[in-house]
Amino acid sequence: MSGHPEHTARSDDAAAYVLGALDGAEAAEFGAHVRSCPICAAEVARLSSAVAVLPLAVTQLSAPTSLRRRVLKEAASDARDGQRTRMRALRSWPRFAQAGLSGAFALAAGILIGALLLAAGRGPSTVIRATVASAAAWHATAEPVAELERYGNRGQLIVTRLPAAPAGKVYELWIERDGVAHATNVLFEPTSSGAAAVDVPGDLNGASAVLVTAERVGGAKVPTMAPLIDAPLAA
């Protein structure tokens, strides 16, 4: 079978991939291959169904009731904070987060700015929730969130609660086309509260994703790691 040109060398990678046994760079590379190779995509789907039963084979334990209380309490306090509204405020004006203003004030500001943007006729936008690799949460106390706001062929990546890049590194933005990450030469650091709003340079038409990795200061020509943030774009 001659499907994808690169396919031949790959037949056994799917099993290692679904078991999480490829290392970061290999996994990212194979993941990109899968998106463009129907043979490997089918193999991954097939083998994933076997991996899905593995958690059920372990000795079943009772989850502690104290854990249940903790999880529900934490979730409820999120809800009270009006998480989503606050994020909208950060998205519109990330500097509010930097200035450490109170949630209530930032919220009011968010509504105001939302209204201004609407009045300015910025046009319809779609917000794409990005996947944030758990590796990006190395010392975060809360789950980092990343969203790509897209207006036509332009976009802005908004992150909150993203920890500072590891020592000697910065975040670098990439645009993925045809499974290949292209450098944008945009490097960024979040504010001390973890917020950043980064304009994606150039045209998003035909791109498949906006990605972020952590690279050495000065940036890299090609990503040296699996994406920490992956915002998929509809084809």
Single residue of 6, 143, 189, 199 touching other proteins by CB under 8 A = 143
| In the complex, least distance from residue 180 CB atom to Zn ion, rounded to whole angstroms | 16
Of 158, 163, 161, residue with least CA distance to 200: 158
The answer to the question of residue 20 lying near other proteins (CB under 8 A) is yes
Single residue of 106, 107, 145, 198 touching other proteins by CB under 8 A = 145
The answer to the question of residue 51 lying near other proteins (CB under 8 A) is yes
Contact 87, 110 (CB under 8 A): no
Q: For residues 222 and 203, what is the distance between their CA atoms, to the nearest angstrom?
A: 19
Stretch that binds other proteins, among 68-76, 93-101, 118-126, 221-229 (CB under 8 A): 68-76
| In the complex, least distance from residue 21 CB atom to Zn ion, rounded to whole angstroms | 17
Q: For residues 40 and 5, what is the distance between their CA atoms, to the nearest angstrom?
A: 12
Q: For residues 77 and 86, what is the distance between their CA atoms, to the nearest angstrom?
A: 13
The answer to the question of residue 35 lying near Zn ion (CB under 5 A) is no
Contact 213, 173 (CB under 8 A): no
Single residue of 1, 2, 63, 168 touching other proteins by CB under 8 A = 63
Q: For residues 171 and 132, what is the distance between their CA atoms, to the nearest angstrom?
A: 13
The answer to the question of residue 218 lying near other proteins (CB under 8 A) is no
Pairing of β 209-216 and β 229-232: antiparallel
Contact 157, 198 (CB under 8 A): yes
The answer to the question of residue 102 lying near other proteins (CB under 8 A) is no
Q: Which does 151 bind (CB under 5 to 8 A by kind): other proteins, Zn ion, none?
A: none
Stretch that binds other proteins, among 6-14, 90-98, 111-119, 206-214 (CB under 8 A): 6-14
Single residue of 6, 78, 81, 199 touching other proteins by CB under 8 A = 78
Could you list the residues that contact Zn ion (CB under 5 A)?
4, 7, 10, 37, 39-40
Could you list the residues that contact other proteins (CB under 8 A)?
11-16, 18-23, 42, 45-64, 67-68, 70-72, 74-76, 78-79, 83-84, 129, 131, 134-135, 138, 143, 145
